[in-house]
A and B are shown apart, each in its own frame.
Chain A
Amino acid sequence: MSRRWGLLVLLTALAAAAGLFLGAEPLPAGAVWRGLVDPAAPGALIVRDLRLPRVLLGFVIGGSLAVSGASLQALLRNPLADPYLLGLSGGAGLGAVGAIALRLPVAWAVPAAAFAGALAALGLVYALGRSASGRLDPRVLLLAGVVTSSFAAAVMSALMVLSDAAELRNAFLWLLGGLGRAAWGPLGLFLLWAPLPLAVLFLSSRSLDLLALGEETAGYLGAEVERVKRRVVLSAALLTAAAVAVCGMIGFVGLVVPHLVRRLLGPLHARLLPVSFVLGGALLVGADALARVVARPVELPVGVVTALVGVPVFAFLLRREAGR
C-alpha cells in the first residue's frame, strides 16, 4: 500500500515538473527554477503567473473530474458514466456558446454562462429523474441527461451555424476545453468551491460501496439510499459544473481514471476516490504539459492528448480483462 502511494506521489511530482518546466515558451530548467524562487528573475512572470497556477488548476480539476466520474459510475451502476453525463456537457456548452454568440464583453461572461447553463441542465435532469414519490431513478436520470444534452447541443449547433467565423472558432476552442485560461483567480474560485462537494463524496465512500450492489441490498446493509443518491448526484454535478466553467469540457479523465484505479486497487471507494483524485490530477497535469509542447508553437487541446494517450491504455486494459 505504501509503495503504491509512493508511486502515486512520484507520478504526481513528475507531472508537476513537466507542467512547470515544459511550455510554449522554451525556458531552460535553471530559469524556471530561478523564476520559482525569485520573483524578480527574468522567467518569473511565466513560471509564477502562468505555469504554476496552471499546474495546480490542472491537478485539482483532473482530480475532481476523476472523483466525480468514479462516484457516478457507482451510483448509476454504469461503468460508462462520466462526469458530464447528467446534462452538464450540453448545458455548459450551450451557455458558453450563447455568451460567445452574444459577444458579451467581459472576460468572465463565458465561464459564468457555462456554469449557469450547466446548473440549469442539472436542474432539468434532476427534475425529470425524480419520480412522483420523490425517488431518484438512476435509469431515468441517465436518459434525462442524454436528452437534455442532445437538446442543448442542437440549440448550440444552431447558434454556431448562425455565428460568424471568428466566433465559431472561439466557441469551438472553448468546447474542446483546456487549461489555457488558468490563472490564480479561477484557481482560487475553484478551490473555494470544490472542497465541500469533494468532502461529501469522500464521506459517501461506504454508501457508494453499498449502492454498487443495487439499491435494495444497499438499503438492507444500512444505506439511506434516497438520501445518498441525492447527495452524490448533486455533489458530483456541482463539482463538474465548476470544472466545466473554469476550463471547458475535458473528456476521458473522469471516465477512465476510475477504471484504471479499480483495476489496480479494487472497487472499494475509501481507496478508489482518493487515489482517483491524485491519479486524475497527475494525468491531467502531465497531458497538459504534453499538449503544450508536442506541436509547439500551437497548443493542442488537452482533451485531445488525454484521449490520444488514454484510449490505447484503456483498450489494452480491456483486452487484458477479456483475455483472462
Chain B
Amino acid sequence: MILEGRELTVRYPGAGRPAVDGVSLGVAAGELVALVGPNGSGKSTLVRALLGAIRPERGEATVAGRPVATLARAELARQVGVVVQREEPAFVLRVAEFVELGRYPHLGALTPPGADDRRAVQEALQRTDAWDLRDRPIDTLSGGEWQRVRLARALAQRPRLLVLDEPTAALDVRHAMELLELVRGLTAEGLGTLMITHELNLAARYAERMVLLDQGRVAAQGRPTEVLTQPVLTRVFGWPVAVTTWCDGSPQVVPLKPGEVGTGN
C-alpha cells in the first residue's frame, strides 16, 4: 500500500458526531480507487486526514509505510501529488512556470531547477497533452486545459500516488473522458490513484475499487459491482435509483423520477 488509513476518526471542533468515523482505506500501486458518497459524507475530510492535513482523533494514516504525521510536507509531496477541487492562484503564471511548482518539493530554498527538473516538467506536460500550452498564461486556459495543466503539475512532482478531488466536476463529456483515460493510463503504468468523485457511472467503469461513504462511515467497498447496488445507493443517497449493467459489465446508476419503478438488476 502506498497510502493507507486505519480506523481513522476525525471530529471537527465543536461538532457532535465525527465527520469521519472509523474508516480504513488503502491504495496500492497501479490501482485506481474511487471515493464516492453524498455531499457532506466526509470524503474530503477523509482525504485530508489521509494526507496529514488534519489530525485524526483516532487511527493512523501512513504513506509508503511511514506515519503521515511524521513526514515533512516536502517529503509527502515527493510521494503524493494532489489536485484539489478548486484552486485560484493569486497571480497569473505561465503554464510551464506553474507546472514547475511541482518540482519545488525536490528543490532547496535557493537551488535553481536543474536538467532533471526541466525534464520532469517537459514529460508531465507532454504526458497530459499540454506541451503546446506551455507559454500560455494560466488565466487564458479552458476548464479542460486547466485540469490537464494541474494534473501535469502533480505529475511533475514524480509522485507514487495521485489524489484527485472531483477532477471531472467542471468538464464536458469529451474532456471528462479524456481526463479519465489519461488517469487510467497513468495508473496502468504503476501510479496509485485515489479519486473523489460524484460521477458514479464513470467511476464504475474506470475504478478497480470503490469506497462508498455515508455520514462518515464506509457503507460499502469493493469492486464497483459490489458497491453500486440498488438498495444501498437508494438508502445512502436518499433517492430511489435503478442499477443496470453496461456491456462492459460495469454497473450504471439511473436515478428514478417520482413514480418510476426501476427495472434494473
Contact = CB atoms under 8 A, between A and B. Distances in A.
Nearest to B102: A221
Contacts of A203: 109-110
A77 B109 contact: no
A61 to B, nearest CB: 25
Interface in A73-96: 73-74, 77-79
A67 B33 CA distance: 45
Contacts of B88: 214
A205 B13 CA distance: 33
B87 A217 contact: yes
Interface string A218-229: 011111110000
Nearest to B94: A266
Interface string B118-140: 00000000000000000000000
Interface stretch (B70-78, B185-193, B199-207): B70-78
Contacts of B195: none
Contact of A214 (B80, B87, B93): B87
Interface residues of A, number: 30
B101 A213 contact: yes
Task: Classify the secondary structure of B's interface with A.
Answer: loop
A283 interface: no
B90 A222 contact: no
B182 to A, nearest CB: 20
B59 interface: no
Given A203-B110, A213-B101, A220 B90 contact: no
A210 B109 CA distance: 12
A286 to B, nearest CB: 26
Interface in A135-166: none
Given A206-B109, A222-B73, A212 B53 contact: no
Contact of B73 (A205, A209, A224, A268): A224
Contacts of B90: 73-74, 77-79, 212-213, 267
Nearest to A223: B73
Contact of A220 (B80, B89, B94): B80
A220 B101 contact: no
A224 to B, nearest CB: 5
A270 B89 CA distance: 17
Interface residue tally on B, bucketed by range: 20 to 34
A245 to B, nearest CB: 29
B87 A213 contact: yes
Contacts of A49: none
Q: For B53, B78, B80, which residue has the most chain A Cβ atoms within 10 angstroms?
A: B53
B89 A213 contact: yes
B97 interface: yes
B69 interface: no
B170 interface: no
Contacts of B102: 221
A221 B109 contact: no
Q: For B73, B76, B93, B112, which residue has the most chain A Cβ atoms within 10 angstroms?
A: B73
A130 interface: no
Contacts of A222: 72-74, 76-78, 104-105
A216 interface: yes
Contacts of B89: 212-214
Contacts of A220: 51, 53, 73, 76-77, 80-82, 84
Contacts of A34: none
Contacts of A132: 13
Nearest to A77: B90
A324 B157 CA distance: 33
A221 B82 CA distance: 8
Nearest to A74: B90
B53 A219 contact: yes
Given A132-B13, A220-B76, 12 more contacts: A73-B90, A74-B91, A133-B13, A205-B109, A206-B104, A206-B107, A219-B53, A220-B53, A220-B77, A222-B105, A225-B73, A267-B92
6 closest cross-chain pairs (CB), A and B: A222-B105, A267-B91, A222-B74, A222-B77, A220-B82, A77-B90
Interface of A: 73-74, 77-79, 132-133, 203-206, 209-210, 212-214, 216-217, 219-225, 262, 266-268, 270
20 contacts: A205-B109, A206-B109, A212-B89, A213-B89, A213-B90, A213-B101, A214-B89, A220-B51, A220-B84, A221-B102, A222-B73, A222-B76, A222-B105, A223-B73, A266-B93, A266-B94, A266-B97, A267-B91, A268-B93, A270-B112
